[in-house]
Amino acid sequence: MSTELHSQLAEYGRSQRAKRRPVGVTEITSAAAASTTTPNAPRAQSAEADVCETCGSDLTVFDLRDPVESPASPPRKRRAAVLAVAAAIVLVVGVVVVADQNDTNVETEPVTSATTPQPVASPSVTEPALPSD
């Protein structure tokens, strides 16, 4: 019975393999090409020429194009604005906290002069001199 189970498993495996459609290289590379994160894929070429119209020098070396027109600019600007606002908030909160802390220190400072009882000069008790006869 146990060998029958083994032979059934083997038969089952053969049937699985027979029905299988293998994954081919073409299918893999097509899927990878469709993906935007493919590092092997060549970068999309810009429609505009990377050469200076005046002097003909290669602009790709230093990327002299106006960054405002670049598609990456809006997110970069937005990120910079968010960072500036966050920094301002942190600064304001810090100033308020420090100022508050200074006020607290002033209030809790012990005032020794007001609470310490001043020594009271005891009246000197002097016996009046007895009149001598």
Summarize as ranges the residues that interact with other proteins (CB under 8 A): 1-2, 4-6, 8-17, 19-33, 35, 37-42
Please say which residue, 31 or 90, places its beta carbon nearer to other proteins: 31
Shortest spacing between CB 5 and other proteins, in angstroms: 5
Gap between the Cα atoms of 38 and 18, Å rounded: 33
89, 82 Cβ separation under 8 angstroms: no
* Residue 50: exposure state from Cβ atoms within 10 A (0-12, 13-18, ≥19): middle
Please say which residue, 22 or 119, places its beta carbon nearer to other proteins: 22
Shortest spacing between CB 32 and other proteins, in angstroms: 5
